[in-house]
Each structure stands twice: as structure tokens, then as C-alpha cells.
Amino acid sequence: LAPFDYLAVCLRDFGFPGGEDAPLFAALLRGESVPGLVPVEPDRASSFRLYRIDRAALR
């Protein structure tokens, strides 16, 4: 994830091929907690989820 400070994930199901090969992405789509990614609460409803990257806690 370097050199980025944030990660954005689109929550729409586009039938992402190979999702079983990307467990981190699949966990984020399910709304699960991921060590090192801190959710940023949106001001309004959105089809995106934004995370701040905490490098000290990232696994």
C-alpha cells in the first residue's frame, strides 16, 4: 500500500473475478475489520468505503 495514506473501496458488486484470491479485498467488501485499516466515517451515504492506513498496525 506504500506510498499511500488512504485506501478507497467501491462497495458495489461488480462480480470481481478471482475474489477468492484476494482475501483482504473480500473482507473489506463484507465490512469486516482489517488490522491497519481504520475506517473514515463519511459525511453522507456513499457506495465507497474509505480507510486510513495505519502502517504501525498493518499486517
Beta bridge pairs of residue 48 = 10
Express each pLDDT in 2-59 by its tens digit: 788 999 988 876 666 666 778 888 888 888 899 999 999 888 888 889 999 998 888 7
**pLDDT at residue number 52:** 95
Task: List the chain domain ranges.
Answer: 6-53
**Grid cell for residue 34:** 482489517
40 vs 1: which has the higher pLDDT: 40
CB 53 within 8 A of CB 13: no
**pLDDT at residue number 42:** 83
- 37: exposed, middle or buried (Cβ count in 10 Å: 0-12, 13-18, 19+): buried
> pTM for this one?
0.75
